[in-house]
Amino acid sequence: MIFLSFFVVVLLAFLSACTPSAPELKAPPQEIIWEPQAPFRGQKKVEIPAEAKALGHFAKGQSLLGQGEFNQALTEFEAAVQADPSNSFLRFRLATLYLRKGDLKKALEETEEASRLDPKGVDNHLLLAGLYSSMGEESKAVREYEETLRLDPNNQEALLYLGALHLKLGDYEKATKNLNQLLTLNPSSVLGHYYLGRVRAKSQLYLAAEESYRKALELNPKSEAVLMELALVYELEGKTEAAIQTYKRLLQGNPKNAWATKRLGELYVGQSKLNEALGQFQKLEDIEADPREARTKIGLIYYEKGDFERAASEFN
């Protein structure tokens, strides 16, 4: 036991002698400048991913739009596309801003590229079709609307606008097919009934056109466009009194509608109701920026009534 205790004491003394003493801590020399980045010198700089940069610009652009700062927002969206040029959504969003600005050329360029990057993007084809149509390239517009419907057969916007485009191009059969399909999906589509009414009127199916316009008016009783078209159909059918009542209804909602005022006056002339006609053309004189036509008609009515002095004053 005494030997073992002696051995332990000797061993501890030996180990203590082998342990180096702790260095004395000193302040760094004054000429050394502390740089937090020093440990990372020589390493590759961390790059922010393109997607993150684009997202930052996009978020800032959205915020600026909300504040009404359109031009600054546009700059941010352009920067977002520059940061991530392969992002079809960013290009589509930028295209909508160019469209809002009225720059159709740039809007078309961005939408075409968005469609190339994402050929299955329904919104890309729909916007592209609208741009082509606005720029008078109807065949390309038809192609894009049809592609939209291939991807989304029940797309109501595509059915409506393709039907309207076929109407413009004179293909009433295709227009009718598109619009009927739309109304099957959405019987409450005012524009669907309106355009179908126009197709039927152009096809001289006047009774059917009346039906379409009346359905549109049930959904929107104050629609000036529908009331105007219905009144014209009544005129084509020789239903003068129905046309007069329809024009009156339109003018109740908008007394300054020049076209309805003029047509009502002309219908009164056809019925030899000169006082009523005179009243309408006098209103028209106040509505139109150039009242010469209205004054001529007023003069003719005075002439017809035998008031030559007042007729002469209107002609001069």
Distance CA 249, CA 224 (A): 9
The average confidence (pLDDT) of the chain is 87
| CA proximity to 288, closest of 259, 316, 268 | 259
Question: Could you tell me the pLDDT band of residue 48, with boundaries at 50, 70 and 90?
Answer: low
In order of their start, the domains of the chain are 55-139 (1.25.40.10), 255-316 (1.25.40.10)
Distance CA 154, CA 148 (A): 10
Question: Could you tell me the pLDDT band of residue 49, with boundaries at 50, 70 and 90?
Answer: low
Q: Please give the pLDDT value at position 172.
A: 98
Distance CA 154, CA 123 (A): 14
Q: Mapping DSSP to helix (H, G, I), strand (E, B) and coil, where does residue 204 land?
A: coil
Question: Could you tell me the pLDDT band of residue 54, with boundaries at 50, 70 and 90?
Answer: confident
Those residues with Cβ within 8 angstroms of residue 212's Cβ, 6 or more apart along the chain or in another chain: 193, 194, 196, 197, 200
Q: Please give the pLDDT value at position 314.
A: 86
Q: Is 170 left (phi over 0), alpha (psi -120 to 50) or beta?
A: left
Distance CA 214, CA 48 (A): 60
Q: Is the pLDDT of residue 5 over 90?
A: no
Q: Mapping DSSP to helix (H, G, I), strand (E, B) and coil, where does residue 168 land?
A: helix
Report pTM. 0.79
Question: Could you tell me the pLDDT band of residue 315, with boundaries at 50, 70 and 90?
Answer: confident
Per-residue pLDDT tens digits for 269-285: 999 999 999 999 999 99
